[in-house]
Amino acid sequence: MGIIRSVVPSSITFALAAAALGAAPVRAGTAADAAGGSGGDALQEIVVTATKRSESLQNVGLSITALTAQQLESKGVEQFFDYGNSIPNLSFAIGAADGSLAARGVALRGIQGSNTTGFYIDDTPVLETLDPHIVDVARIEVLRGPQGTLYGAESMGGTVRIITAQPTATEFSGQMHVGLSGTKNGSLNEIVEGEVNLPLISNVLSLRASGFYQFDSGFFDKGLGPEDAPPTSVLHDIGSREYYGGQIALRWEPMEGLAITPRVIYQQTVEDGVPYALGDANNLLQRQIFNVKEGGTDKWWLDSLTINYTAPFGTFVSSTAYFDRKTFEREDDTDFTEYAFGLTPPLASPITREIDLRRFVQELRFASTFSGPFQTILGAFYSDSTRPRDYEWNTPGFAEATGSPSNLILSFIDSREATEEAIFGDVSYDILPNLKATAGVRWFRDTATFHQFTNGAFFGFSPSTYVAPSTSESGFTPRYLLEYKATPDLLVYASGAKGFREGGNNIALPAGPPPIGCDQDLANVGLTASQVATFKSDNLWSYEIGFKSSFAEHRFTLNGAGFLIDWSNIQQQISLPLCGYGITGNSGAARSTGFELEFSGRPIPELTIGLGVGYTDARITEQGAGSPQTVGSPVYNVPQLTVASNVEYERNLTADWTGFTRLDYSHVSGSYTTNTQVTPLYRPAYNIADFRLGGRNERYEVALFVKNLTNEHANLADAIMIGAEIPGQPHFVVNQPLTAGVEARIKFR
């Protein structure tokens, strides 16, 4: 249970198309350029802002994977799944929340669970469950290890940053991209997207806009009729999704060194049906007694204002943002009401859930560029958020069938309000020309309030309001780093850092025996209702040693890091299967050890290769009250091994056209999941292979592609239902089956 356990933006599209047809062609990229290079044999230098400064990736003493715009385009990235498998020691699973539109969680180095990985768009923290469409993105940065000093409490395991492309007032440019494909067991998919950069006043004012429309067909079938008999009819293409949205940004540079950039980003997803495999990840046939409408909408927008001022001694940044996300979902719970209340004949029983998260964020910071050996970053952060949530479960005919006072199975309305205040900074000092020490710390104070209203059959048809005691926590998250530049092309570093995740409140559980009440479930795990009213913060210390290296005239890079993490008072999901609820509890301690190794190379100008390997051994070292995880058992949803590789080859076909081919392969080893079950469920290992073949000239690119070449049905964990689930009948979320198609791109300048 969760608590209980199309429209193309036509104006933008037409403007982009008109600009594309009328624009002058751009220079054709070389083989090196297309692969992310800068020409010749050398690999392109990647500049990141992970440390709140612009630095070369190879000069940052931190385990980072960075994907540039060229690399994202070359790989055909559209959504999180397309790049998530390419990041060593990044794993993801369903379970950060209930439902299907906002449930994906992200784990780095074995630190999994809701709010363990920070997820940013530019300087704004959003939600790890968000899946922004990848269009007009400058790069994606994945920072492994706790980032509490610079990024706060939600970055306990690491941080994923999506950096948008910035407007420029020096040149007109843009591109259009269209694609058509088909999915096995589904139907046709389509995508239309584009972006344009317009200088309005040369070197002073510019505008950048992008828009997209994407339709992904469903690949499930739904059999209607009694579940103990063959279906009376079958519906197809269940679980389809339609996406659309865009962004627009202005950049005003009224004087040298000052840039003011307002930006608005909007995205909406419409889901028709739910993407669940019942009982087995390979089972694409759902069963439903009645044709109850399922699915929902997820829409969000991000308004931001960034002010940058560069002085001779450093850079001042003000980042102000407002984030709003509204999610509505509907599921059919006919089978559970039949099971729980013995309804014969069964009654159609839909449940709905609405969430509206609103967050205001303000950050001010200064990053020095002093001439001496001493540098510093100083900043202040404030966040204020509110999250109302409403579950409604009505079953027409329930009152008459059961003699109850109403048809209301459940009404559950709650709200959480939270604030975070922080002051952060670090100082670095060049002890020697090639030896630098850095120390940083963040002081934080988090406060939260929580209240809920309940009614319906699950609560004895007795309306009740529960107001939880407000919570408040404060503390420090330090970080220490020592970097040694052994040669101009070899950096060695060692670091230690603390990570933190704030605690919170559980919902009030219904009293009484199962399947309505949770008293027996709590007794089975040795807990009482008062003990699970709240859960505490958890924290960790992470220790890392690593290196960054380039060789053979920068045609190859090899980066590696090893880590040891001690994690205490872990916030884990505790399933109460008899009553169908789930709660969060502090379940002991764990240790995670492992390494990452990433290699990139260009043996010849036409050939680029890449390999990333991540190994994580995350295991429980202390069992917590109510947790099914015993000492020595693996942390859930964390594979030990992740491997990602790619090979891309380009060669001139004619004087104007260049041909290319690319193969991506990733492997994710097996792990265990138990979002809704007492006994852990094994998620088998899976392999994903993608293939692309095409050609390009100065202006156009055409490609054939196949995603999920071997038609792998990857088990992405058991889903937490919005309503309730019959014990022993888990629902699994799986990836998109084999999909093949053609795409075209036009670039203009």
DSSP per residue, 64-87: EEEEEHHHHHHHT--SHHHHHTTS
CB atoms within 10 A of CB 14: 12
How many Cα atoms sit within 13 Å of 173 on the Cβ side? 12
Structure tokens at 230: 């063959």
- Say yes or no to pLDDT of 80 above 50: yes
Q: What is the CATH number of the domain that holds 263?
A: 2.40.170.20
Is 4 domain-assigned? no
Total domains, the chain: 1
- Output Rg (C-alpha) for the chain, integer angstroms: 26
Over residues 342-351, the mean pLDDT reads: 92
Least confident of 50-54, 217-221, 277-281, 556-560: 277-281
Q: What is the model's pLDDT at position 40?
A: 59
In whole angstroms, what is the distance from residue 656 CA to residue 652 CA? 8
> What amino acid occupies position 639?
P
Cα–Cα distance list, 92 to 59, 311, 610 (Å): 28, 41, 22
C-alpha angle with apex 319: 313 to 324, nearest 5 degrees?
170
Is 2 domain-assigned? no
Is 272 domain-assigned? yes
How far separated are the first and last CA of the chain, in Å rounded?
52
* Higher pLDDT pick, 582 / 704: 704
> What amino acid occupies position 112?
Q
In whole angstroms, what is the distance from residue 595 CA to residue 546 CA? 9
Residue whose C-alpha is closest to residue 163's, from 301, 49, 324:
49
Is 3 domain-assigned? no
Is 325 domain-assigned? yes
In whole angstroms, what is the distance from residue 470 CA to residue 467 CA? 9
Q: What is the model's pLDDT at position 719?
A: 87
In whole angstroms, what is the distance from residue 536 CA to residue 674 CA? 21
Q: What is the model's pLDDT at position 367?
A: 97
Q: Which long-range contacts (CB under 8 A, 24 or more apart) does 80-83 make?
A: 80/104, 80/131, 81/735, 81/736, 82/134, 82/707, 83/134, 83/140
Whether residue 684 is preceded by a cis peptide bond, meaning omega within 30 degrees of 0, is: no
Structure tokens at 268: 């909406």
CB atoms within 10 A of CB 655: 6
Is 448 domain-assigned? yes
**288-320 pLDDT, tens per residue?**
999 999 999 999 999 999 999 999 999 999 999
- Say yes or no to pLDDT of 19 above 60: no
Instruction: Domain of residue 380: give its range.
Output: 10-748
**542-596 pLDDT, tens per residue?**
999 999 999 999 999 999 999 999 999 888 777 787 887 778 888 789 999 999 9
- Give backbone dihedrals phi and psi of 16, rounded to 5 degrees, phi first: -65, -45
For residue 678, count CB atoms less than 10 angstroms from its CB and return exposed for 0-12, middle for 13-18, buried for 19 or more.
middle
| Whether the model pTM is above 0.85 | yes
Is 662 domain-assigned? yes
Over residues 417-427, the mean pLDDT reads: 96
**SS3 (DSSP) at 349:** coil
Structure tokens at 182: 């088909």
In whole angstroms, what is the distance from residue 339 CA to residue 337 CA? 5
Over residues 76-97, the mean pLDDT reads: 90
Residues present in the chain in total: 749
Give 459's DSSP letter. Answer: G
Q: How confident is the model at residue 603 (pLDDT cuts 50, 70, 90)?
A: very high
